[in-house]
Structure 1
Amino acid sequence: MNNQVLFTHKDLVERSKLGDRKTQYKLYSLYVNAMFNVSVRMVKSKEDAEDILQESFIDAFKNLDSFRYESTFGSWLKRIVINKSINHLKLKRIPLIALEEHENWIPQQEEDIKEEDLDISSIKTAIKQLPEGYQTIINLYLIEGYDHVEIGEILGISTSTSKSQYHRAKKKLVGLMS
């Protein structure tokens, strides 16, 4: 990643570090919608996502001194939002379960889906039908772009568990799309 990207909004971040409330609000305004979308995809509740978002921004502004431009501000903030969303799910005790243990699991062969048959709304609908744990893995891997090592760290599971959960979630998703 080049330095220009890493230093996106550097002036706003630096002024925010000094406690400039107007600048903090500008920074908030730039990221609030994207971060809300990240959280609501994970927790499935607008109200919970709003709470998580507020907590995330409060934590981010309190800890701005720890932001060192090793990533973009948006990536750093996104990690905070995802961690808070995961913690929220853990508090609600939404487990990652093996596909075979899920009550709606029906063993089936993976079917090929033609790309032209797919549309975003049908994919979103199918993802919502997955068990909560699978939704979390799909969101982190496919939508948020984390790799299995990162997902393992975020969820407190092994890399191999992340991979197997993703494989099972994808298989179930393909079945729902057929």
Structure 2
Amino acid sequence: MAESIDHLVEGCRRGQPAAQRALYERLGYQLMGVCLRYCPSRAEAEDALQLTFVKIFTRLDQFRNQGPFEAWARRIAVTTSLNLWHQHQQRGPHLDTEEAADIPHPDGTPFDQLSAADVVQLMNTLPPGYRTVLNLYAVEGYSHAEIGELLGISEGTSKSQLSRARRLLEERLHQQAHIPHYHD
């Protein structure tokens, strides 16, 4: 039976290499997905993942059990990846299309012929600021106030960039799906 996250965290606090390895194996795939959404390349996402785990292991004393450990670890992955993004703003964050599964949409909408890789490619065409706000809000679940704090922008700018990102993505989805698009 797999050990609980809480048990692994306690082992990590005691400096047990087996617990650290097990925690890495348990959360690595999920956190790599987070890193890939913000880092400009797979290699940098891998670096961000390694830095994330270094921070997790060295800052365990800051985890106060005030929510799921996974959420705390995800926040570290996001901020670590965003730091890399800030260093490479000209290129911007992107999702690696090779990382996306080729799964059609299950609800039978006109977009059902689009794979996850197609959606990822469309997201990668968004300007970096829009793409980052969209990821933080829609994927990571951050509030506009939190996004503003993370990116050094106002809450209103975050809302505006999200709205523009959604509009651009919708337009590009319609173009990709070759269906007519009507503005309200």
TM-score (norm 1): 0.80
CA–CA separation in structure 2 for the residues paired with 1:115 and 1:137: 28
- CA-CA distance at 1:86 after TM superposition: 0.8
Return 24-33 or 136-145, whichever deviates more. 136-145
CA–CA separation in structure 1 for the residues paired with 2:125 and 2:88: 19
Matched, 1:25 2:18: no
| Partner residue in 1 for 2:84 | 88
CA–CA separation in structure 2 for the residues paired with 1:146 and 1:69: 19
CA–CA separation in structure 2 for the residues paired with 1:124 and 1:15: 37
- The residue identity in structure 1 corresponding to 2:9 is V
Matched, 1:13 2:6: no
% identity of equivalent residues? 36
- The residue identity in structure 2 corresponding to 1:77 is A
- CA-CA distance at 1:17 after TM superposition: 0.5
CA–CA separation in structure 2 for the residues paired with 1:132 and 1:50: 20
| Partner residue in 2 for 1:69 | 65
Contact 1:35 1:81 in 2 (8 A): yes
CA–CA separation in structure 1 for the residues paired with 2:110 and 2:35: 28
- CA-CA distance at 1:158 after TM superposition: 1.2
2:33 aligned residue (8, 32, 37): 37
- The residue identity in structure 1 corresponding to 2:86 is K
Contact 1:94 1:133 in 2 (8 A): no
Contact 1:28 1:57 in 2 (8 A): yes
CA–CA separation in structure 1 for the residues paired with 2:129 and 2:91: 6
| Partner residue in 2 for 1:48 | 44
- The residue identity in structure 1 corresponding to 2:35 is S
| Partner residue in 2 for 1:111 | none
| Partner residue in 1 for 2:155 | 159
Contact 2:89 2:128 in 1 (8 A): no
| Partner residue in 2 for 1:148 | 144
Change (3 A) 1:93 1:122: closer
- Give the CA RMSD over aligned residues: 1.9
Contact 1:95 1:133 in 2 (8 A): no
Change (3 A) 1:75 1:56: same
- CA-CA distance at 1:125 after TM superposition: 2.3
1:57 aligned residue (53, 57, 64): 53
Question: Structure 1: where are the runs of 5+ without partners?
Answer: 1-7, 97-113
* Bigger relative contact order (CA 8 A; separation at least 6): 1
Question: Structure 2: where are the runs of 5+ without partners?
Answer: 93-106, 175-184
TM-score (norm 2): 0.78
For these two proteins, the number of residue pairs brought into alignment is: 154
Return 136-145 or 27-36, whichever deviates more. 136-145
CA–CA separation in structure 1 for the residues paired with 2:13 and 2:60: 6
| Partner residue in 2 for 1:168 | 164
